[in-house]
Amino acid sequence: DRGLPFPLEDLGHASVILLLGSNAADTMPPFVQHLRRAQEDGGLIVVDPRRSATARLTEQGRGVHLQPTPGTDLTLLLGLAHVVVAEGLADSSFLDARTRGHEDAALELARRWPERVQGITGVPASTIRATARLLARGARSGAAGGAGTYILTGRGVEQHADGTDTTTAAINLALLLGLPGTPRGGFGTLTGQGNGQGGREHGQKADQLPGYRKITDPAARRHVASVWGVPEELIPGPGLPAVALLASLGGPGGSGGTRCLFVHGANIVVSAPNASTVVEGLKGLDFLVVCDFFLSETAALADVVLPVLQWAEEEGTMTNLEGRILRRRPAVVPPAGARSELWIIQELARLLDAPSLFSEDPRTMFEELARASAGGPADYSGLDYEVLDADAPAYWPYPSGSTGTPRLFLDAFATPDGRAALVAVRPRANVAQDRTPAPLLLATGRLLEHYQSGTQTRRVPALLAAQPVPRLEVNPATAADLGIVTGDAVVVTSSHGVVHAVAHLTGDIRQDTVFLAFHYAGTGTANLVTGSSTDPISGMPEFKTTPVGVVPLAHPGSTVTDQREVFA
């Protein structure tokens, strides 16, 4: 899980880029510069139910915008792969030499002919065929040493009940085209926030140890225990995935319930699915501690709030989406009383008489991390501050004695036999059935002006003035049926809750879809209506296809709370 197994700059040499589940133009604007070559070649392909800022980059002959029914990305990918196989566009030499399972995958694809896929996704069969041929054209160019093809998926693909299957279908398509593990093509994922990559690969997930080691792997447990200087049995087994943990809040302690929670820099009252249930769970805890540098909506519920350093005040490292480790240096002096989270953990360890090393010095902890990750998939053992301060690009794995690994899988894939596996996937009927009862499907997401739960950006006057209230994007034809005009206060309801917003009519969204940003608090919290269903493998929540109803706000004269008043 290195988001991009190649340097980001490689995308600047691509003639074709397929991007699914990411509105990068709004959520990571600097990324867009790497799409220019593909735009110039007419090869930027964006899959999104909305005509987002990223989708608009395909206009004027610069690419293709595929606008499928929400929740049908998997079927669309299968349709594209069907064309690749049926028209002989697959890289058979690559498949024979470097993969396994492609025969079984091809059999499953046989039933996904474009006309059938059109009936499910709404994307014309002719467009599906043309897109597959465009992908193959770039792949052939890359194999011949020219500008190649890249397939990228974002969190929007993963945040579905079938997100793992959809991502697998994207990987299968990339393998059929012969892209991964080659110098001029590939598959990658776009992570959603700064250092999300670095956190995941070093134990932030409850089933992992540093270096992307599995917490259930006996060899990994022995190695990490030896570095930490603790008995192996002190290392626990796998913990709960995030959504399951939130569901346990406030429950009886003796039956798996969580009675105490320590939150580091997360505003789960706004950002977590099924937010009203999360709030009830937080209020039912015996003890809630929140580390943050603003009094977020979650911190306001805490028994103890610990003021911590923000990004411009911290020393340390971060790892970006391409697996590149970067030094971080403080730019400003923190206010009196604010402490680093390393200091907080060090003091807790001292008070609890915890074994092992706990230091507030970032360099000391990075050196331990390098030793703990040695031999793991995300090996940092060849790194130290001297190497990072030299400013040469440092990509993991970076084992001792090496110069790092800018491009993964050039010689072999990370499997016992070195071959990549194509895994046959198909749409699950129960997922489609779960999405059909309501007249509209709600997709949540981000805006250019705000970040995550809005804890920071809702406090910046210029940003809040630009997007002061939650706006529900509605197609004009849909709005006419509902008796809604732009500027109306509306109520969005689901089986999980109710949220208030202001209607914004736009032809950029499908008639069967509405969109709401999740940055707002109070009655405008989008996650009041999202549920707790998750992908059975990844545990990722379903954020993109919530069945909802939309009606005008019942009380004349009522308005949606202006967030500028909340922080006045």
Q: pLDDT tens for residues 108-165? A: 999 999 999 999 999 999 999 999 999 999 999 999 999 999 999 998 888 888 889 9
pLDDT at 255: 63
Judge whether 18 and 150 are in contact, CB under 8 Å.
yes
pLDDT over threshold 90, residue 194: no
The SS3 call for residue 473 is strand
Question: What is the model's pTM?
Answer: 0.93
Q: pLDDT tens for residues 64-81? A: 999 999 999 999 999 999
pLDDT over threshold 90, residue 283: yes
Q: pLDDT tens for residues 34-56? A: 999 999 999 999 999 999 999 99
Q: What percent of the chain has pLDDT over 90?
A: 85
For the record, the structure tokens of 242 come out as 């995030």
- The DSSP H or E segment spanning 420 is strand 420-421
For the record, the structure tokens of 513 come out as 């879809």
Give the residue range(s) of CATH 3.40.228.10 domains in the chain. Answer: 8-192
Q: Which residue has the higher pLDDT, 287 or 162?
A: 287
pLDDT over threshold 60, residue 557: no
Strand pairing class (304-307; 546-552): unpaired
pLDDT at 184: 95
The whole-angstrom separation of Cα 526 and Cα 518 is: 5
Q: pLDDT tens for residues 320-333? A: 999 999 999 999 99
State the pLDDT confidence band at 558, using cuts at 50, 70 and 90. low
Judge whether 527 and 510 are in contact, CB under 8 Å.
no
The whole-angstrom separation of Cα 396 and Cα 364 is: 19
Q: Which of 157, 152, 148, 154 is nearest to 179 (CA)?
A: 148
- Share the mean pLDDT of the chain: 92
pLDDT at 439: 79
The residue-averaged pLDDT of 434-447 equals 77
pLDDT at 436: 47
pLDDT at 410: 96
Judge whether 302 and 266 are in contact, CB under 8 Å.
no
Give the residue range(s) of CATH 3.40.50.740 domains in the chain. Answer: 196-389
pLDDT at 437: 46
The residue-averaged pLDDT of 198-221 equals 90
Q: What percent of the chain has pLDDT over 70?
A: 95
State the pLDDT confidence band at 438, using cuts at 50, 70 and 90. low
Torsion over CA of 462, 465, 470 and 474, rounded to 10 degrees? -110
Q: Which CATH number fits domain 196-389: 3.30.300.30, 3.20.20.150, 1.10.1270.20, 3.40.50.740?
A: 3.40.50.740
Judge whether 533 and 423 are in contact, CB under 8 Å.
no
pLDDT over threshold 50, residue 252: yes
Dihedrals φ, ψ of 290, to 5°? -130, 125
pLDDT over threshold 60, residue 470: yes
pLDDT over threshold 60, residue 494: yes
State the pLDDT confidence band at 205, using cuts at 50, 70 and 90. confident
pLDDT over threshold 50, residue 359: yes
pLDDT at 161: 86
State the pLDDT confidence band at 566, using cuts at 50, 70 and 90. very low
Dump the DSSP string for 306-331.
EEB--GGG--EEEE-TTSBEEEE---
Amino acid present at 272: A
The whole-angstrom separation of Cα 356 and Cα 551 is: 57
The whole-angstrom separation of Cα 331 and Cα 315 is: 9
pLDDT over threshold 60, residue 381: yes
pLDDT at 107: 92
Helices (H), 59-110: 73-86, 92-98, 102-109
State the pLDDT confidence band at 198, using cuts at 50, 70 and 90. confident
pLDDT over threshold 70, residue 253: no
The whole-angstrom separation of Cα 418 and Cα 423 is: 15
State the pLDDT confidence band at 542, using cuts at 50, 70 and 90. confident
CATH of domain 430-566: 2.40.40.20
The residue-averaged pLDDT of 284-309 equals 97
The residue-averaged pLDDT of 270-290 equals 96
pLDDT at 435: 47
Q: Write out the E strands in 423-509.
A: 440-445, 471-474, 489-493, 498-505
The whole-angstrom separation of Cα 477 and Cα 139 is: 40
Q: Which CATH number fits domain 8-192: 3.30.70.260, 3.40.190.10, 3.40.50.300, 3.40.228.10?
A: 3.40.228.10
Judge whether 383 and 394 are in contact, CB under 8 Å.
yes
Judge whether 18 and 152 are in contact, CB under 8 Å.
yes
pLDDT at 561: 58
Least confident of 49-58, 275-284, 436-445: 436-445
Give the residue range(s) of CATH 2.40.40.20 domains in the chain. Answer: 430-566
The residue-averaged pLDDT of 245-263 equals 86
pLDDT at 567: 38
Residue 37: CA atoms inside 13 Å, Cβ hemisphere, count?
Answer: 16
pLDDT at 560: 61
